[in-house]
Structure 1
Amino acid sequence: MVKKRVRDPEVLEDAPPAQDEGSDSDTSMDVVDVEFEWFNFKPDIDFHGLKSLLRQLLDVDHQLFDLSALADLILSQPTVGSTVKVDGEETDAYAFLTILNMHEHRDKKVMQDLTQYVVEKAKTNPALAALGSVLANPAAQVGLLLTERLINCPSEISPPMYSMLIDELEAAVEDKEPYEFTHYLIISKTYHEIASTLDQEDAPKQKKNKAIKGAKETFFFHPEDEVLQRHALAAGSYEYTKDMGDGMADSKRAFQEMGIKPQGSMILIEASKFEGAVKAISDYLNPQQ
């Protein structure tokens, strides 16, 4: 059973264990029994691991932000959000989830940069149009939700992180802390497949056309994002500012004939629908619970 340290350091709360995604489907494969543990953020332990995961989350556009300042801001609120680890609290996190009050931290340079980035990217996709209106509303209290995990980390660790966040936000609001939001904004990543630039001259025309046709379909790095979008006021993808071109996709091959091109993604959810969205994530990723 995994555990998460809650606001009272003397109290531990049980969280559902994450399941190995392939443990029951193929008995001939070796199964590694891993116990994930949930912890509060620890500034003296988590800085470098958190910074690395933020770099992965923001992909090539991480260069636009002061990740050290962003990591410090996250670590300054240790009782809201989680890290997920395997070998104890003193190790680097395999995953994290946190939330930042965009209004409360509006005077900080890194939040100003993030806000400007969000506003500009929202203009590039009509599906994100509502986001600009919400951020321009002085009455809106938007919680910027950031979460990332190592690529091979099972998606089943996600529902406990979201459920714990809801509990922690409720406790923080009871303690008169600035976590009473009107909206939640999740920054994430999607990708689409594109035709490889390698050996294109020798590729049959039929295969080329198939690859081009498949390029328009959007896929999710985080399966829970597909669920969250169903509850969203606005959701959509956008091109990275530091986009290095389609040729970069060959270094991120998903399949033999095709590369993948990552994109940024944003999901805006009204506070009244967030708890239902979190329950839907749990139902989707842990249907047997």
Structure 2
Amino acid sequence: MVKKRNRDPEVLAEATHADDDGSGSDTDMIDVEFEWFNFKPDVDFHGVKSLVRQLLDVDSQLFDVSALADLILSQPTVGSTVKVDGEETDPYAFLTILNLYEHREKKVIKDLTEYLAAKGKTNSALAPLSGLLSSNAQVGLVLAERLINCPSEIAPPMYDMLIDEIEAAVEDKEPYEFTHYLIVSKTYHEIASTLDQEDAPKQKKNKAGKAKETFYFHPEDDVLQRHALASGSFEYTKDEGEGMADSKRAFQEMGIKSQGSMILIEANKFDGAVKAIKEYLNAQ
């Protein structure tokens, strides 16, 4: 049975106690020990499929998510799941990488590549992306998602493992020698709530003239974009529907609107970006 490599126990220990914010407050804490595993197709299909659907948000409807989950699970030694109650349980998080050029003839990858190239044209900050995706460049598509209550401190070990596994795969002559890494993720910005309508005029007045601020669902994405050749957000194709922003309310007075996000990093800068993630999250 394939298992994850042994990792630095100090790194994993930090991730398992991520609920401790260091504030010294009396808030009740739950000690959870996270475990890292390789993908196991007969166990992980539904959990990975659900997380992929969450990652792609409303636009997951545009793709064969089952086929994408199957492709992810077909690479058992590259990428990780994070679980709490052993290998036979559903994952709380996953991270993997797919070679877009190697899998270009698979319909789900063809659809996803065309989608990402089209979205890249909607934001000038993503200008280099479209030409790159239509070339023979070896672009590694990084997909990472976790349940909303998972601590961000699980991210650095997952990225560390991914780098190790890519290096091992390249040594074995497998197609993981990338020129670029493309992280697909999500951002959001606040919008005025449709609830409490009597307060709506006041809210609109208070927010008038204020530029929309972009927030990251994954804090590590804020670090990754600082090392990027190109990064930016894009609007989803599918409509979230009336009231969806309020169902995702981040704060009492505001709803939130999700957007897709892409971060393109050159291969020679990826290791440095991952090290920066570790430094940033361990400093929190």
**Fold in common (TM above 0.5):** yes
Aligned in 2, Cα 1:245/1:28: closer, same or farther, shift over 3 Å?
same
**Which residue matches 2:230?**
234
Residue 243 of structure 1: how far off its partner (Å) = 2.1
Q: Which residue pairs with 2:44 in the alignment?
A: 46
**Match of residue 179 from structure 1:** 176
2:29, 2:245 → 1: CA distance?
Answer: 31
TM-fit CA distance, 1:14? 3.9
Q: Secondary structure at the match of 1:12?
A: coil
- Paired AA for residue 166 in structure 1: I
Provide the residue aligned with 2:121 in structure 1. 123
Counterpart position of 2:140: 143
> Residue 53 of structure 2: which of 37, 52, 55 is its match?
55
CA change 1:209–1:5 in 2 (3 A) is farther
Aligned-residue Cα RMSD (Å) equals 1.7
1:261 maps to 2:257:
yes
Contact 1:102 1:142 in 2 (8 A): yes
Partner of 2:278: 282
C-alpha separation in 1, matches of 2:265 and 2:38: 25
Report the alpha carbon displacement of residue 205 of structure 1 after superposing the two structures with TM: 4.0
State the distance in 2 between where 1:212 and 1:180 align.
48
Query: Counterparts in 2 of 1:93-132, with a 5 A limit?
Result: 93-132=91-130
Native 8 Å contact 1:249 1:259 kept in 2: yes
Sequence identity percentage: 73
> Which runs of no fewer than 5 residues in structure 1 stay unpaired?
none
Contact 2:192 2:200 in 1 (8 A): no
Deviation at 1:204, TM superposition (A): 6.3
What SS does the aligned partner of 2:85 have?
coil
> Deviations along 1:104-148, whole A, 9 cap, x unmatched?
00010000010011011111111111111211222x100000000
Q: Is residue 194 of structure 1 aligned with residue 191 of structure 2? A: yes
SS in structure 2 at match of 1:264:
strand
Q: 1:217 is matched by which residue type in structure 2? A: E
Q: Is the 8 A contact 2:194 2:200 kept in 1?
A: no
User: Which stretches in structure 2 are left out of the alignment for 5+ residues?
Assistant: none
Query: TM-score with structure 1 length normalisation?
Result: 0.92
* Count of matched residue positions in the alignment of Structure 1 and Structure 2: 279
1:151 alignment partner, SS class = coil
CA distance in 2, matches of 1:222, 1:73: 24
